[in-house]
Amino acid sequence: MTGQPERLDHFMARANAAYYAGRDPFADFITSPEISQMFGELLGAWVAVVWGQLGRPAPFVLAEAGPGGGTLMADALRLLRHVAPACHAAAQVHLIETSPRLRACQNAALKAATPNPVNWHDGLASLPQGPLVLLANEFVDALPIRQFVRHGQGWAERFVQAGRFVEQAAVLPPTHPALARPVPDGSVLETCQPALDFVHALAARLQHGRGAALLIDYGYDAPAWGDSLQALRAGRPVDPLRDPGTADLTAHVDFASMAQAAGSVDVWGSVKQGDFLAALGLGARAQQLARAVPAQAQDIRAAARRLAAPEQMGRLFRVLGLSVGVAGLLPGFAQLRAT
């Protein structure tokens, strides 16, 4: 049986819900916090500085969207406990995670990391009121996309049927910044409404309670087209349309559109992950760790290069900052002014 054609975003949402509910993502791909503790530590330092710039609110909501194994938050909280104990004590940890399986992993990872209870949410809407500092690494890339294909003067939309793409006439033409210029015939245009909805809601939440957020992901900051849907299994690319639920489906993140969706909050970047981590002191932290554990010095330097070198994760990965009520420049974006 071949089944009905399923719109790509519906297919992707279903595949990823099954994937994150049933599999260990870190058998299939590796993310920055899993590469090195330095990533979460630098974000912990970022949280401490931003908390100071917000006037040291106590309590405040320290949230993460899509926390995976909980490693980033555990590393950030350990750093806070050592260097900013008042911030650590004030942080009420709230995690946005839909997978019950990953919630259990996060619970185990964070048990001893904070004296305060850890809370879970399905989305932003149920976070408590008040000042918010939110982190999200490789969360947006897993949100479901639609793909439109240019044909002549019109558009078709991609659906999935029996493990293959089929096209149907698009009911609505896509709206996308790349459409400011003519799009060549056969081009694929991707849209991700859930990402824009998330940023829109996050910005409204920041307007209401003050705070700042970092969205870190792989993607592009200029209008672009092209099919970026990919699936990884055991570190290798596989056909994203086959065996839904057995591989992680992601797509490049459109940072320019997300910045636009943020509306009137202060928007920072996006900037390259390499520049952002360098500005937060990655080089100094790597040296410090290498001196402390000489036997691992080579691995530590290799991890720092992997996170920040342009030919590795330093350029493709980007960081977008949002803030309201933060005094001065948002850390890591020193080269920018808020737009």
Phi, psi of 39 (to 5 degrees): -65, -55
Given 142, 199, 206, 214, the residue binding ligand SAH (CB under 6 A): 142
Tokens standing for residue 268: 């920072």
Among 297, 274, 275, 295, smallest CA distance to 286 is for 297
Given 34, 167, 197, 227, the residue binding ligand SAH (CB under 6 A): 34
User: Does 20 engage in binding with ligand SAH (CB under 6 A)?
Assistant: yes
By beta-carbon proximity to ligand SAH, the closer residue of 191 and 287 is: 191
User: Does 43 engage in binding with ligand SAH (CB under 6 A)?
Assistant: no
User: Does 193 engage in binding with ligand SAH (CB under 6 A)?
Assistant: no
Query: Cis peptide before 59, with omega less than 30 degrees from 0?
Result: yes
CA distance 130 to 63: 12
Given 5, 25, 219, 332, the residue binding ligand SAH (CB under 6 A): 25
Among 309, 334, 192, 209, smallest CA distance to 265 is for 209
Beta bridge partners of 319: 216, 271
Given 67, 131, 209, 211, the residue binding ligand SAH (CB under 6 A): 67
By beta-carbon proximity to ligand SAH, the closer residue of 178 and 313 is: 313
User: Does 139 engage in binding with ligand SAH (CB under 6 A)?
Assistant: yes
Tokens standing for residue 244: 């839904």
Candidate ranges 92-100, 159-167, 232-240, 316-324; the one touching ligand SAH (CB under 6 A): 92-100
Given 97, 217, 266, 275, the residue binding ligand SAH (CB under 6 A): 97
Beta bridge partners of 266: 323
User: Does 66 engage in binding with ligand SAH (CB under 6 A)?
Assistant: yes
Q: CA–CA distance from 257 to each of 4, 96, 189, 202, 238 (Å)?
A: 31, 22, 13, 14, 28
Query: Which residues contact ligand SAH (rule: CB under 6 A)?
Result: 16, 20, 25, 31, 33-34, 66-68, 72, 96-99, 102, 137-139, 142
